Amino acid sequence: METEVEKIYRNYSSIDKIIDEKIASNLQEKSFYVVDMLDIYKKHLRWLQVLPRVRPFYAVKCNNLPEIVAFLASLGTCFDCASKQEIDQVLACGVDPANIIYANPCKTKYFIKHAKSVGVDLMTFDNELELHKIAQINPGARLVLRIKGNERTSRCKFNIKFGADLDICYDLLKVAKQLDLNVVGVSFHNGSDCEEADAYHQSIAACKAVFTMGKELGHDMTILDIGGGFPGDDRARVSFEELAATINSALDSFFPPGCGVDIIAEPGRYYVASSMTLATMVIAKRVQYDEKLGHDGYMYYLNDGVYGAFNNVIFEHGIPTPQLLDERTRSKRKLRSTVMWGPTCDSIDCIRRDFTFPELQVGEWVIFKNMGAYSCCVATTFNGFERATVIIAEKPFD
């Protein structure tokens, strides 16, 4: 019997078709994204099936395209916001303030006041001075203590900036009690693209210890936030299912069903990384002799670069994987030593260097998949180059 997703997919325009049609009509030689909403929908269903006890709070910072945020809101997803602007964007989609966590441990006073005024009272902290600030502005807030996660194998790490060490948690909880503040839970973040499933077991075990501290001091501990770090595409060394199996086992051990604890998470790239495909054009080409290989190599200049869609090369140590517009032609082309540059007049603007790729011609289009996380939302217009345009494929429910 045909599943609901299969019914939707049967009537869904292919991303390849949308790209072909856009290129055929693209007279401005601009790069562009295509957003696959069906991919996001399938990710949501996958989450509900694989992590049934964990409510997802989408991390808006990962990709704040209005269409994506509104679509996730329509699916009943909750949200992790880090600023006034993100909170307002989510509220404008009709999201209940109770379904938002203000998950920035270090907040401006004005933003705390604003969160209070719109009914967002769940927020994180990781140090004593933040407690005093909150006590002054919103003493009725529900607080979540963020501890350092196990990010040993993660690609992007956060402990250097956020998270309390375990040995100071008791004192922080004690100060919160003295200030008559409500600490309701504990959170951690194991860093982006965590490659060790057991890291979640260790971090959840640490949260259990902090829960015990909080209860001893009289705090009503009811929320566990296991953060983000979940893979967003199939290139990850550890699959989402592997991480989920370890998480579910740890939750059953330390926070079993019926314990009265609401378990949430802050997935970002998990939801959107594989949903966006970027199309770029070769605007220039140079021949450069490769002494190591003993033959000519090619340097290509694309109409997007690290100041735009490929900023993840700098900020996340990303390694973009180009594809030919028509992969069927790959076997007919010579493989050459390749460097791909962005369009700006800055030598930092290098997308990828020293790899082998089929020879390209000026005017040819190159495709990059898995470009939905921390790409368009961080892009700049440095050197006067415009950001890539965005094409939204029709929503699954349209």
Mean pLDDT of 44-73: 97
State how far Cα 248 lies from the chain centre.
21
The residue behind tokens 């059953």 is 252
CB 12 within 8 A of CB 397: no
Does the pLDDT of residue 6 top 50, yes or no?
no
Mean pLDDT of 44-66: 97
Architecture in CATH for domain 4-34+274-392: Beta Barrel (2.40)
CA distances, 332 to each of 5, 106, 316, 324, 326 (Å): 37, 55, 34, 12, 11
Half-sphere exposure of 10 (CA within 13 A, CB side): 6
Which residues does the annotation mark as catalytic?
345
pLDDT confidence bin for 26, thresholds 50/70/90? confident
In the chain, residues under CATH classification 3.20.20.10 are 64-267
What does the pLDDT read at residue 163?
Answer: 81
d(CA 88, CA 102): 12
Residue whose C-alpha is closest to residue 40's, from 77, 1, 14, 7: 77
pTM: 0.91
**What tokens does 333 get?**
């082309």
Does the pLDDT of residue 2 top 50, yes or no?
no
In the chain, residues under CATH classification 2.40.37.10 are 4-34+274-392
Residues 184-239 pLDDT 10s: 999 998 766 666 788 899 999 999 999 999 999 999 999 999 998 898 888 777 88
d(CA 330, CA 307): 29
User: Which CATH number is associated with domain 64-267?
Assistant: 3.20.20.10
Number of Cβ atoms within 10 Å of the Cβ of 61: 18
CA distances, 142 to each of 57, 98, 123, 268 (Å): 16, 11, 6, 23
What does the pLDDT read at residue 391?
Answer: 92
CB 146 within 8 A of CB 101: no
Positive or negative, the CA dihedral 392, 394, 396, 398 is positive
DSSP string, 80-135: EE-SHHHHHHHHTTT--GGGEEE--SS--HHHHHHHHHTT--EEEE-SHHHHHHHH
CA distances, 322 to each of 55, 237, 356, 365 (Å): 34, 20, 11, 10
Which residues, including other chains, have CB under 8 Å from residue 327's CB and lie 6 or more apart? none
